[in-house]
Structure 1
Amino acid sequence: MRRIVFLCASLCACASARRGAFDAGEVPVPLLPQWIAAGSTFGGALSPDGRELYFDTMTADRKTMTMLVSRFDGSGWGAPAPLAFSTGPRDIDPFVTPDGQHLLFESDRARGNFDVWIADRSKGGGWATPRPVEAVNTDDNEVFATQSAAGEMVFGRAAQTTGRPRPVLYSFRPGGAPRPLPASINDGNTSSNPLIAPDGSFLVFVSDRPGGQGDTDLWVSFRDGEQWREPRNLGVPINTADGEFAPGISADGAWLFFTRRHEGRNVVQVVRTPGMLRGP
């Protein structure tokens, strides 16, 4: 079985901290229940050094969405605080690039539709003023952008219409133009929230296609050269009859994060990364 080689050589000094940061095993459990209450919180993106955890909270009417960060001090996680530049009105889906130097997110702050934005890591350890990623943004909604260490970005794009249009998932490489992912992924059912592995070898995404456990599930497609293999359902206990969405993975491959929608409330989950994600 082919092993996924995660980009963690520079992170060895922090490995013990990461392993002890979450009390989770093979069955998903709520993430940081002392800080993240079930309800309006979603997402989960861990910085490569394992010391910053980013997620979202929203108001009941969904008109305000704010990005938060909790920091690990070696013994525990601190109280989440809003990011200074998360001024919205709706900022969503934070993602820290594998080198830890950039933070991707989506916002409707400029034009009323969601665009991809990027903030660079500042010398003091915080984030500089974000700017839009013009190479991928359009008048439609671009959402849930993630990026491999090689710079390949994947994201969803949905038309500006009433209701809930089905997103199309795209791949973008610097110097090129965004291209739709193949029909095996964009199969006509709902496909969203694409998470590319740090080494680019697999793609976890959300879909309600046939063969799942119910509602939306997490699926994985492995890369074979320039092609993507037929997606596989991550199965129980990650997927359930509830809706699972917003996947995230730690840079060392140890932890998988996602959100489960249960009885109308979001519950952010963490679990040891399943063996399926270590090879096809």
Structure 2
Amino acid sequence: MKWQTLAWTAAFALACSASAGAAELLGPGVISTSLQETSAALSPDGQTLYFMRSDFAEKDDTILVSHRHGKGWSIPEVAPFSGQWHDSEPTFAPDGKRLYFVSNRPVHPGDRPLVAEMANQHFAGTNLWYVERQADGRWGEPLHVDGALNDGAMLYNPSVAANGDIYFSAHRPDSGTYYQVYVVHPAGSGYSTPQRVELGDVSHNRMDPCIDPRGRFLLFAGDEGDSLGSADIYIAFRQADGSWSKPEHLGDDVNTKSLENAPSLGPTFGELYVSSNRQDDVSFPKTHDTMASLQQRLGGPLNGSRNIWRVDISKVLRAHGIND
């Protein structure tokens, strides 16, 4: 895949200069490119962004970091703890002192990379890891999160609540045919046994949970029977008895006929980031292409690759009595 030369010779790009409906493309040409970008993780002050970039087949995942400068973002660099293994899906703890991610790196030095198996297919496995902020502001060495949550090496999209609960998606013995959302609670020096989050019939695929830091609502990607595309973003609200409401489709401000997944919350109220492969429509006959115009369009962010989009869901939250 060829890069847009102009985009990579520029130092910065406007964070929200392209849009699709109410959604805004994040850092076109710098953050969102012709490759696959997903899993935005904004620092609590909103000034640092970690995200995943990969090839179309997502066999080569790497975590990148970029810094905000005014309305723009710096050219991303490989995160100091990534670049050697199949690393993906970064997420901050609410206080910003830890950054969690998943990786196929071996648990013990010298071992082979993790491999997962499902339906007779083998692929890069994932365990949960984190880095911790040191006194000098740098990240420490990656630390493995021990416990049953890593059983099967198929843990995806961790999300951390302020009380230390970790939500994630996985395929486990009680998942049914598809992936489901699970949660573990801090217990002693480790974590409890994973519990499936009851969101309805397990005949539906549920991935990529994103928990409100205060635990009031949960976002995830899937299809509850009314998806506009192959996967959409849904929200469920915590009930008075601790259970979860029936998942609600977030509508066409967030969702499209394309794939939407990997929701994450920004530091501003109602600020939601999602990954989507939405693209510009092409109608025929099109304006006659030259090689330059063809290359520019096919090498741009809206070529069908997954990009990171920002959308505001504050109205949805306020409608459910959540105002901060």
Classify the TM-score, shorter chain: 0.7 to 0.9
The C-alpha deviation readout for 1:254-277, integer Å capped at 9, x for no partner, is 421001123641121112234113
Whether 2:215 is the aligned partner of 1:200: answer: yes
Change (3 A) 1:241 1:22: closer
For 1:1-280, list aligned pairs within 5 A.
27-35=22-30, 36-74=32-70, 76-110=72-106, 111-112=114-115, 113-135=125-147, 136-158=149-171, 166-175=178-187, 176-184=192-200, 187-225=202-240, 226-262=242-278, 264-280=304-320
Give me the whole-angstrom Cα distance separating, in 1, the residues matched to 2:169 and 2:104.
Answer: 15
Q: Is the 8 A contact 1:88 1:107 kept in 2?
A: no
What is the aligned length?
256
| Secondary structure class of the residue paired with 2:134 | coil
Runs of 4+ in 1 over 3 A off after TM superposition: 20-26, 73-76
Q: 1:52 to 1:144 in 2, by over 3 A?
A: same
In 2, Cα distance between the equivalents of 1:166 and 1:22? Answer: 35
The 1-side partners of 2:39 and 2:151 are apart by 24
User: Which structure's relative contact order is higher, taking Cα pairs within 8 Å and 6+ residues apart?
Assistant: 1
* Cα distance in structure 2, aligned partners of 1:237 and 1:254: 13
Deviations 1:144-192 (A, max 9, x none): 11011111110011269xxxx62121011101321011142x6321100
3-state DSSP class of the match of 2:74? coil
Distance 2:84 2:151 in 1: 18
Matches of 1:242 and 1:69 in 2, distance apart? 26
Q: Secondary structure at the match of 2:164?
A: coil
Whole-angstrom CA distance in 2 between matches of 1:267 and 1:50: 19
Greater radius of gyration (CA): 2
Shift of 1:21: 6.9
Shift of 1:206: 0.4
Q: Which moved more, 1:260-269 or 1:117-126?
A: 260-269
C-alpha contact 1:118 1:130 (8 A) present in aligned 2: yes
Partners of 1:34 and 1:63 lie apart in 2 by 22
Q: Percentage identity across aligned positions?
A: 28
RMSD: 2.3
2:211–2:218 Cα contact (<8 Å) kept: yes
SS at match of 1:105: strand
Residue 282 of structure 2 corresponds to none
Question: Which ranges of structure 1 fall in alignment gaps of 5 or more residues?
Answer: 1-19
Q: Which amino acid aligns with 1:236?
A: D
Question: Which amino acid letter does the alignment assign opposite residue 133 of structure 2?
Answer: R
Instruction: Report the equivalent of 2:11.
Output: none
Please report the TM-score for the alignment, with normalisation by the length of structure 2.
0.73
**3-state SS of paired residue (1:227):** coil
Distance in 1 between residues matched to 2:234 and 2:181, nearest whole Å? 14
Q: Is the 8 A contact 1:140 1:158 kept in 2?
A: no
8 Å Cα contact 1:201/1:223 also seen in 2 = yes
